[in-house]
Amino acid sequence: MSKSISRKGQHKSERLEFPLAVNSGHNGKDIVESIEALTSKLTKQELALVERKIKAMGMEEELKRLRPLSGLYRVIKAMTTERRLESLLEVITKETQSILNCDRCSVFILDKQKAELWTQVAQGINKQKQIRVSLSASSVASQCARTAKQINIADAYRNKHFDPAFDKLTGYRTDSILCVPMLNRHADVIGVFQALNKANGQFTESDEEWLLALTTVAAGLIEQAQAYLEIEHFVDRTLETLAQTIDKRDPLTAGHSVRVTNYSLLLGNSLDIPEIDLPVLRYAAMMHDYGKIGVPEAILWKNDRLTAAEFARVQEHARYTYDLLSNLPFKGKLASVPFVASCHHEKIDGSGYYRNLKGDEIPYLARIIAVADVFDALTSERHYRNRMPIDKVAEIMMAGKGNHFEPKYVDCFFKLPSSQVLAVMESERGQAIPYQIKQFESVNLKRLVELVMGAKPKKREEGLSQIFEAIYNAGLPPNYQSLD
């Protein structure tokens, strides 16, 4: 094999033939002789051009040889810097595609409960679209997962396990397939790694080996991430249960922690707080009243207004919350949970408790929880009073702007769609049904209060005030008197 280089300005017939392919069967002596013979005929510029070309060709060969290794290097490098499973799997699929020189790669995860495979990563498919395949389906991926054996198919349309339905749906044409099962430490199948359409032919034995190696890496990462998620879920449920043990001591406060958590998250998301702060907000809101475990039930359940001494005992719960939560190993980004949770009764004018913090001294997440906590307390029945009318609630919340609450947080809370607020508000009482709540989607909480107070409804607002009152007051005695 030889390649030609044109001498600038020379006629086509005078092209110089030069044996550039050093790995094409010539021995070293031949090549040296050919080079010497030719270089004597070349100008300086032409020699430089030839040298560059030789270098380029040499590097190309070297790159081809090193491509799989450099791909593996990039995978290992990503593993040391990237923690998110999805991003890591994207790197692995991208490198696998390059190493195998194929068109697409997909990582299917096995959902044991549903007996389905779903795509964690699927090249060429919209990220929002998840492919789900039944484990019992006749697809190649399902077959691979069921048998725990790799499958190498040269021509998909001639294979009995290939299901062309997805090709028809997407307009893609599958030719060759290489599918390898992903196994955990116990050799159980946890998913499948699939490569499609090898460039120029079918997948080779070397491709099988590479895919097996990369699949082992991917399987390890998936297993690790699944174990981490299980621990995270366990911790989450444990904290939720701990918080509920306090609420459930008293039927009137049942659900308070969950509702405050959900209101806080609604407000936090609406304020567009950094994603990294959301878990702190969630746990701090969930556990904010945990210190109530240290307050006697006779005081908490008192069916009348509290004396000053009793109120002082109730106030102690914020300190108890801090002390108790500080015993839990909240680490890293969660380290601030005990402090944030214990600041939920601080007021921005410094008149709150128990540290009497002021303004920015109060963590902003605690200022979010304060709005959620008071709103829930006012819209819930208490031992010493009934559920407060929503216009009175709004009046108290607005009056608290700038002294108790961060003004913009209250404003933002009242701008939330009232459907979202109602869904949280009624989550424990079960008075509203989803289709009723849906009607409030286009009306924010502020507008709903205006309608309840007698504002003239616009076209789509007609009847909302009555529906709201029916939901809100269901189960309450008619014409009840609020003690507040």
Chain residues binding Fe ion by CB under 5 A are: 289
CB of 260 to Fe ion, least distance (A): 9
Q: Which of 291, 389 has the CB closer to Fe ion?
A: 291
Give the shortest CB-278-to-Fe ion separation in angstroms.
21
Using H for helix, E for strand and C for coil, what is the string for the chain?
CCEEECCCCCCHHHCEEECCCCCCCCCHHHHHHHHHHHHCCCCHHHHHHHHHHHHHHHHHHHHHHHHHHHHHHHHHHHHHHCCCHHHHHHHHHHHHHHHHCEEEEEEEEEECCCCEEEEEEECCCCCCCCCEEECCCCCHHHHHHHHCCCEEECCHHHCCCCCCHHHHHHCCCCCCEEEEEEECCCCCEEEEEEEEEECCCCCCHHHHHHHHHHHHHHHHHHHHHHHHHHHHHHHHHHHHHHHHHHHCCCCCCCCHHHHHHHHHHHHHHHCCCCHHHHHHHHHHHHHCCHHHHHCCHHHHCCCCCCCHHHHHHHHHHHHHHHHHHHCCCCCHHHCCHHHHHHCCCCCCCCCCCCCCCCHHHCCHHHHHHHHHHHHHHHCCCECCECCCCHHHHHHHHHHCECCCECHHHHHHHHCCEHHHHHHHHCCCCCCCCHHHHHCCCCCEHHHHHHHHCCCCCCHHHCCHHHHHHHHHHCCCCCCCCCCC
Of all residues in the shown chain, the one whose CB is closest to Fe ion is 289
Closest CB 288 distance from Fe ion, rounded Å: 6
> Which of residues 247 and 289 has its CB atom nearest to Fe ion in the complex?
289
Nearer to Fe ion, 91 or 318 (CB): 318
Name which of 381 and 469 has its Cβ closer to Fe ion.
381
User: What is the closest distance, in whole angstroms, from the C-beta atom of residue 304 to Fe ion in the complex?
Assistant: 19
Minimum gap (Å) between residue 228 Cβ and Fe ion: 32
Q: Which is nearer to Fe ion, 207 or 289 (CB)?
A: 289
Task: Report the residue number, 153 or 348, with the smaller CB distance to Fe ion.
Answer: 348
Q: CB-wise, 288 or 387, nearer to Fe ion?
A: 288
Question: CB of 337: closest distance to Fe ion in angstroms?
Answer: 15
User: Closest approach of Cβ 313 to Fe ion, in Å?
Assistant: 13
